Amino acid sequence: MTSRFSDRELNFLVAINVVILVVATVLSKGDFLDVYNFQSMGGQLPELGLLAMGVALSMISGNGGIDLSGVALANLAGVVAATVAPMLAAPDASPWIYTAWFAVIALAVGLVGGLLNGLLIARAGLTPILCTLGTQLLYTGFAVVLTGGSSLRVGDAEPLSAIGNEMVLGVPIPFVIFVAMLLGVGWLLKQSPFGIRLFLLGTNAKAARYAGISQNRMLVATYALCGVLAAVAGVIIAARTASVKSDYGNSYLLIAILITVMAGVRPQGGYGRMTCLFFSAVALQLLSSTFNLLGISNFFRDCAWGLLLLFFLASARLSLADLRSFVSITRSSAPPHQSPPGATQRTTEG
């Protein structure tokens, strides 16, 4: 309990959530605390949260890791599933089979897209930011070809619609899926050998190599997992909106990166926590809902997201520089090594 209260990063994120909640409640004269409002936010948050998890995993891997293709891959997964699933099962006659095929196809597309990112980065040696920027355009192009640039309606299957719009004990199903995925990835990072290797790889790639960890294998697995997370987000988007588009969520990438950086995930790699990412995503969702409440335009929101991203990147950079400066000062001020009393000193005499 003491360690939790001394966790400055987590306390900071919790405080941000409390401040936004109080300000929004005061401005709305209490309407912000309506249960329906929280349920609406719970249905919207998972899309951004899942995409942010993918960005976080790629950053933790180090070596300038980042995944810019998440939103495009989520859209492509939904488009391919909406195109192929009706050929395998009729949504009105076999809604459960259709929903199962939709989810399997979407996850398969996400896995293949993530594997492609990982192979290009690990095997071909491409820089992650340039590689995923290129695949982002590639995935968007495929989605445009399949849809002709317009939106594609998803089959009217009740189980699929329930994934995006129904609730369990008053909690939106998308939020339940997000929390389950968050807990799973958190356990994977903290308790499994994969997580230990990933953190070591992000902290010191040379030490990881000497420890027998295959950097290529880890990168391929990490970006494959990022692709699966993007596909889950794509399924939720398709289920919630009952349609898929090649350019859905244009601003999602910026917000996903902002959530990740705000959660304390280091762009240099080697550090990141899913608990902080959860509170970071909630804070951004609360802030977005507050903007809706105040009627602030989308143009100002994009400007606000960009300013917040620059602020937190600069803060992380300054904190790292201060830490290095402190370490160097500590080393330089350390007393010189002295021989213990009574020890004989070597001489160069014969």
DSSP codes, 282-316: HHHHHHHHHHHHHT--HHHHHHHHHHHHHHHHHHH
104 in any annotated domain: yes
Diameter of the chain by CA atoms? 99
Min mean pLDDT across 51-60, 209-218, 233-242, 305-314 is at: 305-314
Binned at pLDDT 50, 70 and 90, residue 314 comes out as confident
> What local confidence, expressed as pLDDT, does residue 317 receive?
59
CA 36 from centroid of its chain's CA atoms: 26
Rounded (5°) CA angle 78-81-82: 85
Q: What is the mean pLDDT of residues 54-58?
A: 94
Min mean pLDDT across 100-114, 136-150, 297-311 is at: 297-311
Per-residue pLDDT reduced to its tens digit, 71-120: 999 999 999 999 999 999 888 888 899 999 999 999 999 999 999 999 99
Q: Which two tokens stand for residue 108?
A: 């398969």
Binned at pLDDT 50, 70 and 90, residue 6 comes out as low
Res 34 pLDDT > 90:
no
Interatomic CA distance for residues 114 and 226, integer angstroms: 6
284 in any annotated domain: no
> What local confidence, expressed as pLDDT, does residue 187 receive?
94
Interatomic CA distance for residues 230 and 238, integer angstroms: 12
Q: Which two tokens stand for residue 13?
A: 């994120």
The residue whose two tokens read 């977005």 is 288
Q: Into how many domains does the chain fold?
A: 1
Res 331 pLDDT > 60:
no
Per-residue pLDDT reduced to its tens digit, 234-247: 999 999 988 899 88
Interatomic CA distance for residues 260 and 56, integer angstroms: 6
Res 324 pLDDT > 60:
no
Interatomic CA distance for residues 20 and 115, integer angstroms: 39
Per-residue pLDDT reduced to its tens digit, 150-200: 888 888 888 899 998 888 888 999 999 999 999 999 999 999 999 999 999
* Residue 69 amino acid letter: S
C-alpha distances (whole Å) from 29 to each of 93, 287, 292, 315 are: 48, 16, 15, 34
Residue 20's contacts (CB-CB under 8 Å, 6 or more residues apart) are 283, 286, 287, 290
- Supply the range of the domain harboring residue 126: 50-249
230 in any annotated domain: yes
Q: Got the DSSP string for 34-67? A: -HHHHHHHHHHHHHHHHHHHHHHHHHHT-TT---
Res 42 pLDDT > 80:
yes
More confident residue, 177 or 319: 177
Interatomic CA distance for residues 91 and 297, integer angstroms: 38
Size (the chain), residues = 350
Interatomic CA distance for residues 135 and 142, integer angstroms: 10
| Contact criterion met (CB below 8 Å) for 238 and 82 | yes
More confident residue, 350 or 25: 25
109 in any annotated domain: yes
> What local confidence, expressed as pLDDT, does residue 296 receive?
72
C-alpha distances (whole Å) from 16 to each of 9, 43, 251, 282, 284 are: 11, 21, 22, 10, 10
Min mean pLDDT across 41-50, 97-106, 172-181, 287-296 is at: 287-296
Res 304 pLDDT > 50:
yes
> What local confidence, expressed as pLDDT, does residue 337 receive?
45
Interatomic CA distance for residues 337 and 345, integer angstroms: 13
> What local confidence, expressed as pLDDT, does residue 338 receive?
46
Q: What percent of the chain has pLDDT over 70?
A: 86
Min mean pLDDT across 138-142, 288-292, 346-350 is at: 346-350
Interatomic CA distance for residues 304 and 254, integer angstroms: 11
Task: Please report the beta strands in the chain, taking only residues with DSSP state E, as ranges in sequence order.
Answer: 152-153, 167-168, 171-172, 243-244
Q: Got the DSSP string for 115-182? A: HHHHHHHHTS---HHHHHHHHHHHHHHHHHHHHTTS-EEPP--HHHHHHHH-EETTEEHHHHHHHHHH
19 in any annotated domain: no
Q: What is the mean pLDDT of residues 1-22?
A: 77
Res 4 pLDDT > 60:
no
More confident residue, 313 or 227: 227
